[in-house]
Amino acid sequence: AQRVTQPEKLLSVFKGAPVELKCNYSYSGSPELFWYVQYSRQRLQLLLRHISRESIKGFTADLNKGETSFHLKKPFAQEEDSAMYYCALSAQGAQKLVFGQGTRLTINP
Amino acid sequence: DAGVIQSPRHEVTEMGQEVTLRCKPISGHNSLFWYRQTMMRGLELLIYFNNNVPIDDSGMPEDRFSAKMPNASFSTLKIQPSEPRDSAVYFCASKRGLAGYNEQFFGPGTRLTVL
């Protein structure tokens, strides 16, 4: 069975500081990994996926198969980054997503 | 496109009553997902459909929950009878195609409170 763990329910950093939201997964095959974000009063939306190897809004995430991790990073946090972040996994060839518990990120001015 | 549409946005009901949540996926999307979000358990998949056919309902908590998708543009999630522990935000999401890496588009959610 697949499992996604986000160890931090709450994370608070100051504006301009680096941010790292942790995500670990459990899956024996090759996973598809995603970060979804929910800003205040907005819908849950895709932030980035590992297959695209892209940087979105300054965020990047690298899949580390050895450590089974997919941590989300940004070198300089901005106040508009405050939101709820969910890491999600899709098993190879599967349709459904398994979500972590989520991390609420707060950027302090 | 208005995106995924859910109704109602808020529902308050009493224990024992039937509750029906509605979802209209994005036109052209052929996969539809129902999720439940709670503080304790986070975001859980309840059931999903491909081309209107239920594929995996292993996340449906019990027989009180049922979901249908009579056509490509409409799905319902029904709880009968409702219980206070069903209080949560219920999300519907849709996706184009069958590839796992395709983005899921979420609706605004229905906040259900069962008294």
Instruction: Nearest by CB to A51, from B35, B56, B101: name it.
Output: B101
Of residues A2 and A77, the one with the higher pLDDT is A77
SS percent in chain B: helix, strand, coil, step 5 = 5, 55, 45
Instruction: Output the CA–CA distances (angstroms, integers) from residue A7 to A20, A67, A104, B44, in the order listed.
Output: 12, 15, 11, 17
Longest dimension (CA), chain A: 43
Instruction: Nearest by CB to A46, from B98, B103, B108: name it.
Output: B103
Report the C-alpha gap between A86 and A82 in whole angstroms.
13
Name the token pair of A76: 């300089």
When pLDDT is averaged across residues B91-112 and rounded to a whole number, the result is 89
CB contact under 8 A, A49 and B107: no
Phi, psi of B16, deg, nearest 5: 100, -15
CB contact under 8 A, A90 and B45: no
Instruction: Nearest by CB to A95, from B31, B105, B109: name it.
Output: B31
Report the C-alpha gap between A51 and A75 in whole angstroms.
21
Name the token pair of A91: 């098993």
Per-residue pLDDT reduced to its tens digit, B51-81: 999 999 999 988 999 999 999 999 999 999 9
Mean pLDDT of chain B: 93
Residue type, B25: P
Please report residues of A whose CB lies closer than 8 A to that of B108. 43
State which residue of chain B sits closest to A84, comparing Cα positions. Answer: B42
- Specify the pLDDT at position A96: 85
pLDDT band at B100 (very low <50, low <70, confident <90, very high): low
Q: Where does residue A93 fall: left (phi above 0), alpha (psi -120 to 50 degrees), or beta otherwise? A: left
CA of B92, closest CA in chain A: separation in Å? 11
Is B14 in a helix, a strand, or coil? coil
Instruction: Output the CA–CA distances (angstroms, integers) from residue B18 to B13, B46, B81, in the order listed.
Output: 8, 18, 5
Report the C-alpha gap between B70 and B53 in whole angstroms.
9
Per-residue pLDDT reduced to its tens digit, A16-41: 999 999 999 999 888 899 999 999 98
State which residue of chain A sits closest to B109, comparing Cα positions. Answer: A43
A104 has a pLDDT exceeding 80: yes
